[in-house]
């Protein structure tokens, strides 16, 4: 079993910055892709940014140029640096990983961390 622990959410004014972290722990697993999703009230969960094990990244159009995803493969941690935050970035942010665990491909979600951007 793999556990994901997120941190770094909070309340920030528009134009401010936050950095989210998500650390994976467990035994006998290797992580493939990692990513961040978000879900605003009344909306579907959407992909914000994925990152492959080799470090290739992609971003939702709404966050390009403002958010940066990075990972530390030694620490099994993925980060999301969020700059120039807007009110529309307000959501619960979830990290997600897919990994090989005891020979099987599995997907895990973090518990979610609230990001609130005020005007």
pLDDT, the chain, mean:
95
What share of the chain has pLDDT > 90, as a percent? 89
Structure-block tokens of residue 102 = 């005891």
> What confidence tier does 28 reach under pLDDT thresholds 50, 70, 90?
confident
State the Cα–Cα distance between residues 116 and 10, nearest whole angstrom.
Answer: 6
b/e 55-73 (16+ beta carbons within 10 angstroms → b):
eeeebeeebeeebbbebee
As a whole number of angstroms, the distance between CA 69 and CA 52 comes to 10
pLDDT in tens, 62-113: 999 999 999 999 999 999 999 999 999 999 999 999 998 888 889 999 999 9
**Least confident segment among 25-39, 47-61, 64-78:** 25-39
- In three-state secondary structure terms, 63 is coil
Residues 14 and 16: their CA atoms lie apart, in Å, by 5
First to last CA, the chain: 40
Q: What is the pLDDT of residue 1?
A: 86
């Amino acid at each position: 079993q793999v556990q994901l622990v997120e941190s770094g959410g909070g309340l920030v004014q528009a134009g401010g910055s936050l950095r989210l972290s998500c650390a994976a722990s467990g035994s006998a697993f290797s992580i493939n892709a990692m990513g961040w999703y978000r879900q605003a009230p009344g909306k579907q969960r959407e992909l914000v940014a994925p990152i492959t094990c080799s470090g290739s990244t992609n971003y939702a159009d709404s966050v390009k140029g403002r958010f940066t995803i990075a990972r530390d493969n030694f620490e099994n941690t993925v980060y999301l640096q969020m700059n120039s935050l807007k009110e529309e970035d307000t959501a619960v942010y979830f990290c997600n990983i897919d990994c090989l665990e005891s020979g099987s491909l599995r997907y895990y979600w973090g518990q979610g961390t609230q990001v609130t951007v005020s005007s």
